[in-house]
Amino acid sequence: MALVDGYRYEGQPGEVDFRIYRFDKHAVRLDEGEVKKMARRLWALPTERLWGSTRLNEIAELQWRLAMPVATLLLAWLGALLSRTSPRQGRFGKLFVAILLFIIYYNTLGVAKNWIVRGVVPPELGLWWVHAVLLALLGWLTVRQIGARWLLDRLRGRVRLARVN
């Protein structure tokens, strides 16, 4: 491995023998075992390799990677729902609720990933149950905000659009 234009530190800061070396080019030879060990890190594995895996830790990693785009969409929907406030509530009235829901959701995803690795949750269920819980909450919040009657009429096709002349 070759490093270019940097510094190398030796010793403990504050000690007499502490030294700082500046270099233009610095080459370090890595043993083959160290390189293989680095390549086995789970987050560094390509998604194609994870896709066909039967190992629980690799399945959990794949589901985590797939969960992030889903989480982005669900959290954007949650943000849109929570951004609606009454004039007396102020602009930041629901900010604490939004942050709290995000922390609970993200931590639950992490716990569910750990459960997949440990075999507590079957890989088929994986992280999807966490998304389903948030999706149910989003559905409830949407119906509560829009109104159940309007939503039922819309589903039945009875909603009349206002005419603009």
Are 114 and 151 found together in one domain? Answer: yes
Question: pLDDT digits over 82-106, tens only?
Answer: 888 777 777 777 888 899 999 999 9
Q: What are phi and psi of 2, to 5 degrees?
A: -115, 130
Distance of CA 123 to the CA centre of its chain: 18
What is the number of domains present in the chain?
Answer: 2
Are 80 and 108 found together in one domain? Answer: yes
Are 22 and 94 found together in one domain? Answer: no
- What pLDDT is stored for residue 158 in this prediction? 64
Token pair of 65, please? 């990677």
User: Residue 77: enclosing H or E segment and its boundaries?
Assistant: helix 56-82
Q: What is the pTM of this model?
A: 0.65
- Residue at 99 is within a domain: yes
- Domain range for 24 is 2-30
Question: pLDDT digits over 51-75, tens only?
Answer: 988 889 889 999 999 999 999 999 9
